[in-house]
């Protein structure tokens, strides 16, 4: 910040250092809010989480939180997204079925973590009453993270491990749909054996399919 004089009036003019400093402060505040949301959710559960409590824990104002996020669910969604960013690797061993077993097994173990799985389940439940949160979760947390898997399945199609007529998105919906059914409804054990069973059934059926042609734009 430097001073400029005009006819006896002192005005403050921002220098190039001001904007980066403000940006760092905003990022520090954002991360504090995300950390607070996760910590509170882990301590008390999603039902007791509130924007007021997040603000108090993070040392921020409610106005700041509502300026950046529309709801407590949106804060938690970004907090979970931030936590898992860069932690997912998609194997490519040349055997797409083995690779998918690995992916599903890793997902099962992450959801078994009490610091992660229950909060994702809470967000899925909340999204039934908050369409905006549901859309955001679908685009950012589901489709964004699923894109590398779609590419992996397309490579499998190129080498003949999957029929070219089968939609990779539909395959993933069947795999993860079966998985999340048990995760959310607790209708049976969610373990590596079940994960491998899902993958084997879906990919055996996909390999035999010759007439299932669809794409994401055909589904609502």
CA dihedral (169, 140, 199, 115) in degrees, to 10, reads: -170
Class of domain 2-72: mainly alpha
Backbone angles phi, psi at 70, to 5 degrees: -85, -15
| Residue 120 tokens, joined | 């994702």
**What pTM was computed for the model?**
0.78
Parse the chain into domains and list their residue ranges. Answer: 2-72, 86-218
Segment 159-176 shows an average pLDDT of 94
- Residues 121-151 have pLDDT tens digits of 999 999 999 999 999 999 888 888 889 999 9
- Asked whether the beta carbons of 15 and 1 are under 8 A apart, the reply is yes
Residue 36's alpha-carbon distances to 40, 208, 210, in angstroms, are 6, 49, 50
100-115 per-position pLDDT tens digit: 999 999 999 999 999 9
Q: Which CATH class is domain 86-218?
A: mainly alpha
Q: Tell me how far apart the alpha carbons of residues 112 and 96 are, in angstroms, rounded to a whole number.
A: 24
Tell me the CA distances in angstroms from 132 to 9, 67, 76, 218, one per residue in order: 49, 16, 14, 22
């Amino acid at each position: 910040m430097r001073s400029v004089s005009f006819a006896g009036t002192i005005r403050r003019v921002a220098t190039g250092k001001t904007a980066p400093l403000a940006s760092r402060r905003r990022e520090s505040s954002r991360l504090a809010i995300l950390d607070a949301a996760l910590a509170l959710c882990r301590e008390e559960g999603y039902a007791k989480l509130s924007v007021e409590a997040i603000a108090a824990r993070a040392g921020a104002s409610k106005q700041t939180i509502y300026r950046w996020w529309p709801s407590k669910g949106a804060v938690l969604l970004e907090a979970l997204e931030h936590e898992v960013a860069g932690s997912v690797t998609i194997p490519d061993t040349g055997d797409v079925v083995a690779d998918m077993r690995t992916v599903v097994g890793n997902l099962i173990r992450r959801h078994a973590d009490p610091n992660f799985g229950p909060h994702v389940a809470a967000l899925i439940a909340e999204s039934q009453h908050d369409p905006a949160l549901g859309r955001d979760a679908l685009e950012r947390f589901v489709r964004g993270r699923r894109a590398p898997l779609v590419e992996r399945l397309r490579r499998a199609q190129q080498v003949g491990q999957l029929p070219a007529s089968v939609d990779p998105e539909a395959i993933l919906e069947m795999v993860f749909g079966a998985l999340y059914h048990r995760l959310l409804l607790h209708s049976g054990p969610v373990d590596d054996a079940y994960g491998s069973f899902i993958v084997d059934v879906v990919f055996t059926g996909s390999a035999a399919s010759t007439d299932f042609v669809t794409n994401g734009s055909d589904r609502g």
